[in-house]
Each structure stands twice: as structure tokens, then as C-alpha cells.
Amino acid sequence: MNHPVHRRNRVLGLGTATGALLVFGLGPLATAPTAGADFDDAIDAAIAPFLDATGSNLDWDAVFTPTAWDTFLAPAHWDTVLAELGGLAIPGAAAAIPIDPNTWLLQHFYTPIHTGIEDWINSDLGQQINGLINQPFLALTGRALIGDGIDGTADHHDGTEGGWLFGDGGAGWSNTEAGGMGGAGGAAGMFGNGGAGGDGADGGLGGNGGDGGAGGWLMGIGVSGGDAGDGTYTGAGDLPALGGAGGNAGMLLGAHGDHGHYGTLDGAPAAVAGISTAGTWITGADGRVLNLHGFNEVYKIPPYEPSAGGFSDDDAAFLAANGFNSIRLGVIWAGVEPQPGVIDYNYLASIQQTVQTLANHGIVSVIDFHQDDYSPTFGGEGAPEWATQTGGLPNPDIGFGLNYPLNPAQNHAWDMFWSNAKGPDGVGLLNHYARMTQAVADYFKDDPNIAGYEIINEPWAGSSWLSTIFGNSYYEAQQLTPFYNQVSAAIRSVDPTTPLIYEPNTLFNEAVPTQLGAVDDPHGVFAFHDYCMLTSISMALSPLCPGYIELLAANGEAYTSKYGVPGFISEFGSGNGAEEATMVMNAADQRMWGWSQWAYNGVPAITGTAPGNALVFDPSKPPVGDNVDWARLEATSAPYAQAIAGTPTSWSFTGGTFALSYSTEMANGTGHFGAGAHTEISVPPIQYPDGYQVTVTGGHVVSPAGAPILVIASDGPGTVNVTVTPAGGTG
């Protein structure tokens, strides 16, 4: 009873639920120690003043002696302890060893118990006793209470479930039939690891990998999905096979399994490189840094095509004339995949026509896989009805925004989505979504006017939303991040360079900091929405909006700085007025991010789309007169550098003065742009009705006087500074 390990457990409370929670909160998410010895030594050192000479028992005289407490509380005594426990910067202390609480608990708590259970299950005695215990459960439920699942075979591809209480899932069968799909791993019960997904077979277009089984619903590790098989390209529309989804983690403790690797298609043409990223910048095919200013254009009812709402050439011309160079273009899952596994290429052709209409006016498109309220079943748009599983729960229409937390059927639908529940064809919903994005990326992969694929708009946690508010990282760390990794792999199987844009959970806009992990993509961009939600409570709170907007921007910057990715504000403005939009633009300028306002289009009036939230209220009518929000246009058509032949160091627009500074060094770090390289700056006439004047150092103006696109040519390697002021002003 007095063994040091037992002492440590009592001090930390490892034997109780409270203690486990205390340990879980010891430090920030980071890399765990490689072994437990250092941690144990740290705890021994912490309680050493109270031990007897043998180090095995409490010295009760020391417990009541002030000298021992002085030693215990002395800062020097805790330097080593805190260095071991990690996460705290102590001046003069040894370098901290950061601890990931989840990983530490998996290593030191879950794994030893799991190993012991598996040893028992597979022992001769365990099998005999478990067999007796399992008989009534098998008779009543068809599932054992304790025991491992059975691996899949050629006859039964999927692994079976582990015991309801304890046991690992069986592994899926690795298919050997040409182009065959791997079997899915079985799920664990309450405590255990899922079974690994089987690999797909080569041949044909390759076989998809099987999904990894979910870890125990209470505690357990989801295992990786199987790898896809390779195939042979036969023509346009052929898609590489995809790896299976990883299994879900246990709700209390666990880790999500990784997705399987995608296959290759021998003979498939390589995608044409266009817009991409370099470090923390979005870049064009020529290596110049691109800054995107624009609007959202999403048509939210069937046929989900912007042209159906009247968006056409006059709208694209209107945007370009006012200096905007990008559109976040809504593409709806229900439009792409109206039936399971069926891609509607007529729908994609309609989207492509809008992309080309915009491109004709120098505007690029971000493909935005948009959703609100999950699907039309809940009064929104996004998922097709065949991918909407309500569980028969009540479906009250409480209104957009409140439907997320308060509609039971919608939360169930999100839960089914994140758990990769099988669709009507037996394929998981996450797999359908990944395949859908792959088909879209394949369709647009060679289009130089595509500036990115935004994976999903405002992802919602489902029934775990409340715990997410209070800091539970499960949704973002164990569901959303793996989802982004799975979709990234799907898109990268056909398009290796176009930016992949991903958002934090929807509650980020309610000032809940993101716990999204690193997304495994070479050209990822972090996007978020920056609305002052205080005004939805009361307009009396609007004076607090500058601080609220800055808080959200700072939370976004915390992520982009941590993971070294570009930032992008993909929604802001809405019906909150030009003044709020200007606040967000200033926050973006300070961090040198691009942005996209909500919204260009004011119809149809569902889920946040309404004339009062739009720049042009009805695109089916010309963008003139009272069909335009002129106050917003004047506030947001600010001067900005659209393409920079170098790496920006700062830009701003204040009081009619635009200032830009940049180095001619290429953003990818491979050298400098040569003398004469062009930087293009939008100078909308609405901002300078009487013209403008320019001051430049390190370069010179090569565009005509008063041109709406100011072109600066650099004089050679070095720094270029540009200042634009109204004609007749100082500068």
C-alpha cells in the first residue's frame, strides 16, 4: 500500500474520476513524453519532503513540520517538477516537457488497462470464463459482453464488433479481387480499439479502402481505414480510389483513426498548376502574392445554381468595376450528388459557366461547399435528403441559428454525419462527402480561375455542442480535424496544389476559441467568420463590437501563427452595416488577410440570405439605383493590392490614404522578382472620384494616370513603398 506508485496515484487522484479530470487539464495540447519515468520522478521529487529516509512511507513528523512545508513550497523545489509536468514557463527552470493530456492518459492509463484486458480475453482461462458469461448476452442480443470481434474474410468482408463491454473490433478483409473494396473494421464496445479497415485491391479504377472501426464509445482508439488500390485511367471523369475513413475515438478518452491512402490511376494526366500557397500567402501561378477581396454568392434553393437567381454578366462586371477580384461561390452537396454515388455533371457545368462569367472580368472563384442547418429537411441547404438521418426525433423549426442547438433531429443528423453512419447504399456519409469533393476538384482542377476549395461552411458539432462551448476539444480534435484530413486526401488525389480552405467550428463566431488541430495539407488556408454577434442580442451592445471583432481576429491569428498557414475571413458584414464591415476590413489589413463579405445576393430569403444582408438585393435586376446598398459599396470597395510581385510587409487604408510596403523577395523563398515585375493595385473610382496621386520608392508607375488598376514596376531587388492619396492631397 505504501509503494511509490500508489503514493503518486493518491496525490494525483488517478484512482478517481475527479483525479482523472485534474490530470487531463495539466497542460496544453502538445507532444507527450516518450516514457513515464520522468513524470514519476517529478512526482517523487514533489512529495520528497514528506517521506521518511527509505522514501517508502510518509514521515508524519515532517508532515507537521514548517521546515518541510517551506521546502515543499519553495520555487526552486518546483523547478524540476514543473519542467517535467510541462506547459509552464518558469524563469531559470529547466526546459519544460509539454504534455498532451489525452495522449498521456492513453499511454499511462488506457493502454495498460487495455493490454491487461486483451491478455485476459486471449488467455485460455479468460476464453473459458468469458464463454460462460457471454452465453446469456448472445442469446438475448446476439452480441457478446466480453471478447474480440472476428476478422473479415472473403465471404464476410467486414470485421465484427467487439464485446459490448470489453473487446476490440475485428479487422476488415483486404480485398484480393480486382478493383474490390476492402472490408470495414468492426467497432469496439464500451472499452476497446476498433478493427483496422481492409485494403482495396488493384485493378480497374482501384478498390476503395475499408473504414476503420470505431474505438469504444466510452474509451478507445479508432483504427486507420484501409488503403485504396491502384487502377488504370481510361478517360475524363475517372477518379482514383479513396482510402477508408478512420474510426472514431471514445467520447471520454481516445484517438481518431487516420484515413487510408488514396490510390493512383496509371496514365491519368497531371493537374495544371494555378493558384496555390507559399508559406502564409496565397499565390498565383506566377508566384505573385494574391490578396482576395470579394463577396459570397450562394443560391440556396434548387437548382442551387447562382444563374437561377439571376446572377449573370452584368453582376460580374459591376463587381470588377468596383475593384473586387473574388467570389466565394456556393456549391451544394445536394446539387452535386442528388442520389448516392451519382454525380450531376450538368450541375457542375452550370457552376462552371458562372466561374467563366466571373473570369471574363478578372474575378476568381473559391468553391464553397456551403451548408446552413445541415439540409432542406431543417429549412436549410447542404446535404441531400438521402444523407439526412433524423433518428425519428422531433424537428421543430425554431429559426436559423437557434435550430443548431435546439433542434433534436438536426443534432442527430450531424452526429450521424460525424460518426460516418452508412447511407442507403451502405457507404459511410463521410466517404460520400469526400468522394463528392473529389469529383468537384477533378472537374475544376485545370481551371486557373479557381482560388480554392472551402471544405464546409460553418461545421456544427451536433449533440456535443454544449461541451464544446465549455472547452471540450473532442469535436474539433477528434472529429473535425480528421474529417478535414480525409477530404484533403480526396482532393489531393486529383488536384495537388489548389488551396484547401477550412473553418473552425460554428461557435468560433460566438467567441469560443478553436481547438482544431493541424490539418494535414500542403496548401491549407484557415478561414473564419467575423460577425459582431452582440448586436443579435441587443443593438445597445453595438459599442462593444470593435473589441468583439478584434477578439475573433486575434483568435484566428492564434491558429494561423501556430500552424504557419494563410488566414482568410470568408464571411462578415451581413446586415450589420458598413461601419462594422470597415472594422473587419481593418482587422484583416493589420494581419494582411483577404476577405469575402456576406453577401452579394439577396435572394432567396432563407438561412441568412435576405435583401437586407446583400450588396445587390436582387441579381435578376440590374445592379443600379435602389437595387444596390451604396453605403456598403462605398465603405468596402477600398483600394488594395490584388497581386504583389514580392512579399508584403504591410498595407493599410485610412482616411483616403492607401499604403503598401513589400520586398521583392518571392513568397516561396526561391529568389527575388526581377526589375520591372508588376504589382497591381485596385484603386476604385468610387474612392477617388476626382482622381488620385501616387508616391513610390523602389519602383515606378507604369499604368496610365487615373487607371482603376494602378500598376507598379519594381526597380530591382529590394523594398518597394507605395502611397496613394486623393488628387490634390499630400503624399
pLDDT at 30: 32
Q: Angle at which helices 545-563 and 578-591 pack, to 10 degrees?
A: 30
pLDDT at 10: 28
Task: Tell me 176's DSSP state.
Answer: -
- Give me 238's grid cell: 475517372
User: Closest Cα to residue 272, out of 500, 440, 501, 494?
Assistant: 494
User: Does pLDDT of 590 surpass 50?
Assistant: yes
User: Quick one: pLDDT band at residue 574, thresholds 50, 70, 90?
Assistant: confident
Sign of the dihedral defined by the CA atoms of residues 16, 18, 19, 25, in that order: positive
Which whole number is the average pLDDT over 637-660? 97
pLDDT in tens, 55-76: 656 676 666 677 776 776 776 6
Q: What are the backbone dihedrals phi and psi of residue 537, each rounded to the nearest 5 degrees, phi first? A: -85, -50
User: Closest Cα to residue 314, out of 615, 601, 622, 686?
Assistant: 622
Task: Tell me 13's DSSP state.
Answer: T
Which whole number is the average pLDDT over 302-321? 98
Contacts of 35 (CB under 8 A, 6+ apart): none
Beta-bridged to residue 525, according to DSSP, are 501
Please report, as a single letter, which amino acid is at residue 180: G
pLDDT in tens, 449-497: 999 999 999 999 999 999 999 999 999 999 999 999 999 999 999 999 9
pTM for this model (two decimals): 0.88
User: Closest Cα to residue 85, out of 12, 176, 174?
Assistant: 12
User: Does pLDDT of 3 surpass 60?
Assistant: no
- Measured CA to CA, the distance from residue 111 to residue 209 in angstroms comes to 27
Beta-bridged to residue 699, according to DSSP, are 714
- Give me 216's grid cell: 469504444
SS3 string, 644-685, reads: ECCEEEEEEEECCEEEEEEECECCCCCCECCCCCEEEEECCC
pLDDT in tens, 185-223: 999 999 999 999 999 999 999 999 999 999 999 999 999
User: Does pLDDT of 729 surpass 80?
Assistant: no
Is 142 exposed, middle or buried (CB count within 10 Å of its CB: 0-12, 13-18, 19+)?
A: exposed
User: Does pLDDT of 576 surpass 70?
Assistant: yes
**Full DSSP string of 536-559:** HH-GGGGGGHHHHHHHHHHHHHHH
- Measured CA to CA, the distance from residue 120 to residue 255 in angstroms comes to 23
- Residue scoring higher pLDDT (271 or 39): 271
User: Does pLDDT of 545 surpass 60?
Assistant: yes
pLDDT at 58: 64
- Measured CA to CA, the distance from residue 20 to residue 27 in angstroms comes to 13
Q: 721: helix, coil or strand?
A: strand
Mean pLDDT score of the chain: 90
- Give me 34's grid cell: 516518450
User: Does pLDDT of 326 surpass 60?
Assistant: yes
User: Quick one: pLDDT band at residue 91, thresholds 50, 70, 90?
Assistant: very low
pLDDT at 2: 35
User: Does pLDDT of 52 surpass 80?
Assistant: no
Sign of the dihedral defined by the CA atoms of residues 673, 677, 683, 688, in that order: positive
- Measured CA to CA, the distance from residue 632 to residue 634 in angstroms comes to 5
- Measured CA to CA, the distance from residue 66 to residue 568 in angstroms comes to 57
pLDDT in tens, 345-401: 999 999 999 999 999 999 999 999 999 999 999 999 999 999 999 999 999 999 999
Angle at 278 between CA 276 and CA 280, to 5 degrees: 110
Residue % of the chain over a pLDDT of 70 = 87
User: Does pLDDT of 231 surpass 50?
Assistant: yes
Residue % of the chain over a pLDDT of 90 = 82
User: Does pLDDT of 36 surpass 50?
Assistant: no
User: Does pLDDT of 35 surpass 60?
Assistant: no
User: Does pLDDT of 642 surpass 60?
Assistant: yes
Pairing of strands 524-529, 500-502: parallel
User: Quick one: pLDDT band at residue 538, thresholds 50, 70, 90?
Assistant: confident
Q: Please check whether residue 392 is in contact with residue 487, taking contact to mean a CB–CB distance below 8 angstroms.
A: no
Question: What's the helix, strand, coil split of the chain in %, to 5?
Answer: 35, 15, 50
Start-to-end CA span in the chain (Å): 80
**Full DSSP string of 265-295:** EETPPPPPP-SEEETTEEE-TTS-EE--EEE
User: Quick one: pLDDT band at residue 29, thresholds 50, 70, 90?
Assistant: very low
pLDDT in tens, 97-145: 456 778 878 887 899 899 999 999 999 999 999 999 999 999 999 999 9
User: Closest Cα to residue 99, out of 55, 15, 43?
Assistant: 43
